[in-house]
Amino acid sequence: MLEYARGNVPDYQMAAFAMAVFFRGLDGAETFALTDAMVRSGETIDLHAAIGRKVVDKHSTGGVGDKTSLAVGPIVAACGVPFGKMSGRGLGHTGGTLDKLESIPGFRVELTTDEFLQQVRDVGLAIIGQSANLVPADKLLYGLRDVTATVDNVSLIAASIMSKKIAAGADAIVLDVKVGDGAFMKTIEDARELAELMLELGRHAGREVACVLTDMDQPLGHAVGNALEIRETLATLRGEGPADFTELVLSASARLLAFSDLGVDEAAGRERADAAARDGSALAMYEGWIVAQGGDPAEDALPTASVVRDVEAPRAGYVNAIGAVDVGMAALRLGAGRQTKDDDIDHAVGVLCLKKRSDSVDTGETIAQVHAQDEESAARAAEEVVAAYTFADDPPAPTPIVLETIG
């Protein structure tokens, strides 16, 4: 992998390797060896030594409306636990964590490793773009997997995610493995397999790891789209967030606090996280963090779309399902995501799914809102969003946001 990152192994060899793994899989020892080789392809950070304390991190396998880190970071840091995270950009659906942060005017995602460490020490929280020298082999290999249709293999996904988490240096990591229509892992069985493999890889590298398997059969929270998701994060840090998103944020935060050096268990962690979201301390931490990275934390500084169009329920009943991918694609076509890696993102646009699964609706009631830059794209997105909803006469059986915790 080091030789590949240095350009001494040609792409065609590596593409053949990825294809072989895709069809034959890797056993446990081979997956450890691949992950280790990927970690050693570039720089590694010892956050514990640099900060002088236990540092926690979280990662999500990605989903529609997933802004969890943006709320978990300030909550955990407000509770006194350093949170340092390196993130990627999104390709497809909506933006990634960095794109969401870049909807904040002035916010800098590109900090040097030294600036990153200094900020985690001084402020308690930093979320930045992954340094180019952190697991360079993954960046190259991921690009190859993308164009050779070999992304979807559990060993390659686990090695890719865990090599970056291990190299980034946190002592304890909570991994949010999304399950469902809007996720890589479509079934709970596949999600479990990925979670267990990532747990083993983390433990092998001496890290404490827990996986939460969470529902991605409908968008998370209401907001899908970059600035809209920052607004929803702010609401959640004021204790006014949507129920499913708030629950996920609080349970991930509780787990991270239980991992930390505060010496609390998960139940006490949950109480502290909840208090931080209610007493203004998480919001104050958010503001300090955004300012430290050059951004304007005021909600009214965020960009707004020119056209806001309500989407109405075509019938009365209960929301039975909301296709996460369909809503994600509607947001993408509005400009909230990238179709190719060089596309620009429009931070203002997106979709608010105001009614969620099991909510009752009347005919003509507003179920969603489209934020667009012109009437034509708003009308198209509104049609796509209404088509993503299905309705029934009775409410569907409730599904919790956290399906399972492993580790």
What is the contact surface with ligand URA in residues (CB under 6 A)?
A: 61, 142, 151, 156-157, 160-161
* CB half-sphere exposure, 396, CA atoms < 13 A: 16
Catalytic residue among 66, 99, 138, 176: 138
Nearer to ligand URA (CB atom), residue 32 or residue 391 = 32
Nearer to ligand URA (CB atom), residue 139 or residue 356 = 139
The Cα–Cα gap between 178 and 175 comes to 9
Q: Is 59 among the catalytic positions?
A: yes
Catalytic residue among 41, 57, 59, 309: 59
Token couple for 17: 């390797």
Token couple for 363: 């005919």
Q: At what angle do helices 28-39 and 154-168 cross, to 10 degrees?
A: 40
* Cα torsion angle, 156, 158, 163, 165, sign: positive
The Cα–Cα gap between 228 and 107 comes to 16
Nearer to ligand URA (CB atom), residue 148 or residue 320 = 148
Helix (H) or strand (E) holding 318: strand 317-322
Nearer to ligand URA (CB atom), residue 90 or residue 297 = 90
Which residue's Cβ has the minimum distance to ligand URA?
Answer: 160
Minimum CB–partner distance for residue 35 and ligand URA (Å): 12
Q: Is 41 among the catalytic positions?
A: no
Catalytic residue among 85, 164, 272, 347: 164
Nearer to ligand URA (CB atom), residue 156 or residue 353 = 156
Q: Is 164 among the catalytic positions?
A: yes
The Cα–Cα gap between 66 and 245 comes to 9
- Pairing label, strands 307-312, 360-361: unpaired
Minimum CB–partner distance for residue 400 and ligand URA (Å): 24
Nearer to ligand URA (CB atom), residue 157 or residue 235 = 157
Catalytic residue among 160, 163, 281, 377: 160
Catalytic residue among 100, 145, 270, 338: 145
Minimum CB–partner distance for residue 221 and ligand URA (Å): 21
CB 201 within 8 A of CB 31: yes
The Cα–Cα gap between 299 and 278 comes to 18
Q: Is 333 among the catalytic positions?
A: no
Minimum CB–partner distance for residue 314 and ligand URA (Å): 36
Minimum CB–partner distance for residue 88 and ligand URA (Å): 7
Minimum CB–partner distance for residue 184 and ligand URA (Å): 6
Q: Is 160 among the catalytic positions?
A: yes
Phi (first) and psi of residue 309, to 5 degrees: -120, 130
Helix (H) or strand (E) holding 391: strand 389-392
DSSP classification of residue 334? I
How far apart, in Å, are the Cα atoms of 181 and each of 66, 316, 325, 363? 14, 25, 6, 26
Place of tokens 């200094």: 118
Active site residues: 59, 138, 145, 160, 164
